[in-house]
Amino acid sequence: MAKRVQPRFKNGPRRHFVRQWREYRNLTQDQLAERVGVTPGTISQLETGRINYRQPLLEALADALQCRPGDILNVDPTQDDAIWSLWETLEPAQRRQAFQIIETFKKTGSD
């Protein structure tokens, strides 16, 4: 029976969507590692929660994955039905209008 590797963090690893973003961009761990300037092992360990990220790595990952650092932490790009996937397709004027509609919806408390 294989021994399960436990994360080394007191509160557990920080949640992120590195693997999902990598797969969404059709990259291998080797390709992402090359773009970021780390080893493929680092990417593997990051994705499995064996190591944690720091801000410089998060920013390098975001640059390599063509997204914002916050997206890696909060957005699963593989969820086609998530609101962010629609939001990303809107022009700035449409985003303002969508935001106003959502604010109105929130105020009215429609059931």
Residue range 67-97, pLDDT digits in tens: 999 999 988 888 877 777 677 778 999 989 9
What is the tens place of the pLDDT at every residue in 32-56? 999 999 999 999 999 999 999 999 9
- Measuring CA to CA, how many Å separate 11 from each of 8, 15, 24, 49? 9, 11, 28, 12
Overall CATH class of domain 7-78: mainly alpha
- Give residue 83's pLDDT: 75
Closest CA to 78 of 24, 22, 18: 24
The 3 state secondary structure assigned to 36-98 is HCCCHHHHHHHHHCCCCCCHHHHHHHHHHHCCCHHHHHHCCCCCCCCHHHHHCCCCHHHHHHH
pLDDT tens sequence across 2-37:
555 444 445 556 689 999 999 999 999 999 999 999
The two tokens of residue 15 are 């949640």
Parse the chain into domains and list their residue ranges: 7-78, 79-111
